[in-house]
C-alpha cells in the first residue's frame, strides 16, 4: 500500500491550490473523445480520436466542484468544443435523486447508493435493469473547520467533536476541549456548531465518523441529512464555510480543499493528533474493505473510521461517480463513457490533485475503476 502511495505521489497537503469560485453550474466544453471507441482498456488520458457531439448533464457532490473544474479544463484542452457537459453542484443527495429520476446521465456523490432507502434498486430500474456503476473518483479529507479568535492551533478527539456537535459541550474552554489542548489558552466563547442544510454526502461521512469513532458519544446513525434539530446551517460546502466564517466561536465540517483561511483542527488518531492530508485519506481508503453485497461494477467502500496507523486520517470522504452500465441511446453511453474515462484516468486524477488537493486513486483502484467505466455501452 505504501508503495502504491509513493508511485502515485500522493503528497498534496502542502500543494493546495486556489479554490475555484463557487458556481451553480460548471459548463464543460468537450469533444473528440474516444468514448464510443474500443480503447483496449487504456487507463491513460481517457481521450482519443472519436467524434462526439451533444450535451451531457450531471451533478451532485459540491465537494467535487473544484475537481470538476480541473476535469473540465483537462478534457476541454484535449478535445475541443463539440460536447457540452453541465455539472451542477447541488449536493450528493439531490445528485443521486436526479440520476435516479433520469434528469442526470451521471451523478457525483460523497456516499454510495443506499440499500436501506432503496436507492440501489431504484438506480437499477432507472438503468433499465442493468446495474448502476459506482466508481471512486475523488478522495479527500474532511476538515473540522473553526473560527475562534486567538486560537490558531486546535486538537480534538472524536468523542469531543461528537459532544460539540450534539450540544453537550457548549463553551470553548470546556475541560474536555482543554484536555485535548493542554498548551492552549482557550476563551470562554460560546460554541456555535454549523451543519449542512441539504442532503449531503459530506454530512453522511462526517456522521459516519462520529458514529464509529466517538466511543458512544454520538447517538444517531449516520445520515446525509443532519439528524439533530436546530443550530446554524449552510447550504452546500460554500454555504457552510461562509456560515463558519461569519461568526466567532463557530465550528463546522467541509472538504479540506475548501477550508480557505479558516482554522483547521487536528483530530486524534491513535496516540497522535493528525492534520487532514490527502496522503492520510488515501492511506485509509486503500486499507478499507468493500461494501458487501454489491455488483462487480460497484466499487462502494466501507471506510475504516477507527484506523490508528501513523499518519492516517479516517475523517475523509470517497466521492463516487454514478452512472448506468448501459444506456438506451448510444450517444448517451458514448458521452458518459468518454467523460468518466478521463476523470478516472491517471491524467484526470492528477488534474484534480493539482487543483483541489485531492488524493489520486491508488493504482489498483484506478485501474479497476477504468475497467468498469470501459464497460459502459448502449443496449
Dig out the grid coordinates for 27 from the structure.
Answer: 459548463
Any residues with CB less than 8 A from the CB of 2 and at least 6 apart, and which? none
Q: Is 3 annotated as a binding residue?
A: no
Q: Across residues 189-194, what is the average pLDDT?
A: 98
Q: Residues 148, 133: one domain?
A: no
Look at residue 128 and tell me whether its pLDDT is greater than 50.
yes
Both 56 and 146 in one domain: the answer is: no
DSSP 159: H
Considering the domain boundaries, does residue 311 fall inside one?
no
Judge if 150 and 198 occupy the same domain: yes
Phi and psi at residue 139, in whole multiples of 5°?
-120, 125
Assigned domain for 94 exists = yes
- Calculate mean pLDDT across residues 313-341: 96
CA dihedral over 121, 123, 128, 131, signed as positive or negative: negative
Q: Are residues 61 and 154 in the same domain?
A: no
Decide: 167 and 154 in contact? Cβ < 8 Å. Answer: no
Question: Distances in Å between the alpha carbon of 278 and those of 49, 70, 353?
Answer: 34, 17, 9
List of long-range contacts for 188-192, beta carbons under 8 Å, 24+ apart: 189/148, 189/149, 189/248, 189/249, 190/249, 191/164, 191/249, 191/250, 191/251, 192/231, 192/232, 192/247, 192/249, 192/250, 192/251
Determine whether the annotation assigns residue 92 to a binding site: yes
Same domain, 227 and 128: no
Residue 257 is assigned to a ligand binding site: no
Assigned domain for 312 exists: no
Distance CA 133, CA 144 (A): 31
318 is in an annotated binding site: no
Residues 151, 270, single domain; the answer is: yes
Mean pLDDT of the residues in the chain: 86
180 and 162 together in one domain: yes
Alpha helices, DSSP H only, in 51-104? Answer: 65-79, 92-101
pLDDT tens-digit readout, 261-299: 999 999 999 999 999 999 999 999 989 999 999 999 999
pTM: 0.80
> Does 307 map to a domain?
no
pLDDT value, residue 51? 65
Q: Is 82 annotated as a binding residue?
A: no
Tell me, what's the pLDDT at 41? 36
Classify strands 83-88 and 26-30 as parallel, antiparallel or unpaired: antiparallel
| Residue 200 placed within a domain | yes
Q: What CATH number does the domain containing 353 carry?
A: 3.40.190.10
Residue 114 sits in the same domain as residue 179:
no
| Domain extent for 149 | 142-280
Q: How many domains does the chain have?
A: 2
Domain co-membership, 157 together with 115: no
- Evaluate if residue 224 carries a pLDDT over 90: yes
pLDDT above 60: residue 6: no
76, pLDDT greater than 80:
no
* Residue 345 marked in a binding site: no
pLDDT of residue 22: 33
The pLDDT of residue 54: 76
User: pLDDT at residue 109 above 60?
Assistant: yes
- Asked if residue 263 is part of any domain, the answer here is yes
Predicted confidence (pLDDT) per residue in 142-183, tens digit: 999 999 999 999 999 999 999 999 999 999 999 999 999 999
310 in a structural domain: no
Residue 110 is labelled as binding a ligand: yes
158 and 276 in a single domain? The answer is yes
What is the pLDDT at residue 48?
36
pLDDT of residue 19: 31
One domain for residues 152 and 86: no
**Is residue 306 domain-resident?**
no
If pLDDT is split at 50, 70 and 90, which confidence band does 20 have? very low
- Residues 265 and 297 occupy one common structural domain: no
Does 140 count as an annotated binding residue? no
Lowest mean pLDDT among 29-38, 97-106, 121-130: 29-38
Amino acid at each position: 500500500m505504501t508503495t502504491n502511495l509513493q508511485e502515485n505521489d500522493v503528497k498534496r497537503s502542502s500543494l493546495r491550490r486556489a479554490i475555484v469560485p463557487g458556481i451553480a453550474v460548471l459548463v464543460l466544453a468537450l469533444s473528440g473523445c474516444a468514448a464510443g471507441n474500443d480503447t483496449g482498456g487504456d487507463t491513460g488520458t481517457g481521450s482519443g480520436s472519436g467524434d462526439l457531439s451533444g450535451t451531457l448533464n450531471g451533478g451532485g457532490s459540491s465537494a467535487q466542484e473544484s475537481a470538476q473544474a480541473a476535469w473540465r479544463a483537462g478534457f476541454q484542452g484535449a478535445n475541443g468544443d463539440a460536447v457540452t457537459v453541465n455539472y451542477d453542484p447541488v449536493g450528493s443527495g439531490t445528485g443521486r435523486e436526479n440520476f435516479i429520476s433520469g434528469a442526470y446521465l451521471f451523478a457525483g456523490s460523497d456516499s454510495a447508493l443506499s440499500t436501506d432507502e432503496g436507492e440501489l434498486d431504484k438506480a437499477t430500474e432507472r438503468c433499465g435493469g442493468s446495474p448502476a456503476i459506482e466508481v471512486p473518483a475523488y478522495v479527500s479529507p474532511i476538515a473540522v473547520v473553526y473560527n475562534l479568535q486567538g486560537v490558531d492551533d486546535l486538537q480534538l478527539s472524536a468523542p469531543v467533536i461528537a459532544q460539540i456537535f450534539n450540544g453537550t459541550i457548549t463553551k470553548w474552554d470546556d475541560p474536555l476541549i482543554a484536555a485535548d489542548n493542554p498548551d492552549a489558552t482557550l476563551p470562554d466563547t460560546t460554541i456555535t456548531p454549523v451543519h449542512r442544510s441539504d442532503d449531503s454526502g459530506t454530512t453522511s461521512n462526517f456522521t459516519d465518523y462520529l458514529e464509529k469513532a466517538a466511543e458512544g458519544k454520538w447517538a444517531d446513525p449516520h445520515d446525509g441529512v443532519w439528524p439533530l434539530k436546530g443550530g446554524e446551517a449552510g447550504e452546500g460546502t460554500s454555504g457552510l464555510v461562509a456560515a463558519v466564517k461569519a461568526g466567532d466561536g463557530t465550528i463546522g465540517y467541509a472538504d479540506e480543499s475548501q477550508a480557505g483561511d479558516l482554522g483547521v483542527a487536528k483530530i486524534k488518531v491513535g496516540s497522535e493528533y493528525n492534520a487532514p492530508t490527502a496522503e492520510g485519506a488515501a492511506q485509509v481508503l486503500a486499507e478499507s474493505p468493500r461494501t458487501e453485497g454489491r455488483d462487480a461494477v460497484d466499487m462502494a467502500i466501507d471506510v475504516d473510521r477507527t484506523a490508528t496507523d501513523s499518519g492516517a486520517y479516517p475523517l475523509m470522504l470517497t466521492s463516487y461517480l454514478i452512472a448506468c452500465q448501459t444506456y438506451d441511446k448510444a450517444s448517451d453511453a458514448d458521452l458518459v463513457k468518454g467523460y468518466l474515462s478521463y476523470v478516472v484516468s491517471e491524467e484526470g486524477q492528477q488534474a484534480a490533485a493539482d487543483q483541489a488537493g485531492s488524493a489520486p486513486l491508488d493504482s489498483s483502484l484506478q485501474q479497476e475503476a477504468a475497467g468498469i467505466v470501459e464497460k459502459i455501452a448502449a443496449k
